[in-house]
Amino acid sequence: MILVTGATGNVGRRVVDRLLAAGVGVRALARRPEAAGLPADVEVVRGDLAEPDTLGPALTGVDAVFLIWPFLTAEGAPGVLDAVKAHTGRVVYLSSSRVRDDVDGQADPISALHAGMERVVTGSGAERTFLRADTLASNTLGWAGQIRSTGVVRGPDLPAKPIVDERDVAACAVRVLTEPGHAGATYVLTGPQVLGRADQVHLIGAAIGRDLRFEPVPTADARAQMLADGRPPALVDALLAGADAPPEPALVTTTIETLTRTPPRTFESWARDHAPIFT
């Protein structure tokens, strides 16, 4: 029995589906089980990561936990890991490829959050595996409204990254959740191509048969608009992390193929598969 947190999200739902397909028992943590919309074979249990005292029923009898942390700080994580450790010794944590092991301080809020979470998980004494995923292809779903209405995506021009398909991340998660030999491992998961935002918009346009355009917005203007829209400053800092940083060579790994024995999907294939969302 595997407990999946974030089971209704872009990665978590894929993990749920793949575990079911593999014949593995799946339990999902949800604050509102009645609204989860998960398959009938999933045992949905009420609980909230913000309230560790509510996690006992979800954790009882599970063999491992797939942990997606939904908050902007690791402040409440020790209590959650205490609860996890009291019931099971195995945690697979979805981290970020931005985390650096060779520096004392992380470069941005996202990497600092995930580095802090990794420390909490390690300090709990649980048998842990970290999946450090690069930028998820599903992040571009947030552009769907702009694409449908104007054909122009406006936003800060973040550094090019090896965009990774969330389905490949889920496949790796299921592999390490269901087979031995991954305790203590840290895997960096990337897609096969380094793409900037203009590249991604172009590929979505090719998938839907439209000429789309990416229009860069200065970071300061993007920040001001996000704050004016009511987004919390900590979230804005996280969303814009790295926007003005000097570009660094992007690391492309072969980890997905090593773990799953299947080459990682390209962003082009992701765009084709998700084309109806943008039309």
Q: Model confidence over 56-96: pLDDT tens digits?
A: 999 999 999 999 999 989 999 999 999 999 999 899 999 99
Q: pLDDT class for 247, splitting at 50, 70, 90?
A: low
Rg (CA), the chain: 19
| Of 119, 98, 101, nearest in space to 109 by CA | 98
- Give me the residue spans of the domains in the chain: 2-134+166-190+251-265
With contact defined as beta carbons under 8 Å apart, do 112 and 74 qualify? no
pLDDT of 246 reads 64
pTM: 0.94
Averaged pLDDT for residues 196-210: 97
Sheet holding 2-4, edge to edge: 43-46, 26-30, 2-4, 64-67, 90-96, 127-133, 186-189
Please identify, in words, the CATH class of the domain defined by 2-134+166-190+251-265: alpha beta
Tell me the sheet residues that pair with 152: 213
Instruction: Round to whole Å and give the CA distance between 114 and 95.
Output: 6
* In 2-147, beta strands by DSSP E: 2-4, 26-30, 43-46, 64-67, 90-96, 127-133
The continuous run of DSSP H or E covering 154 comes out as: strand 152-155
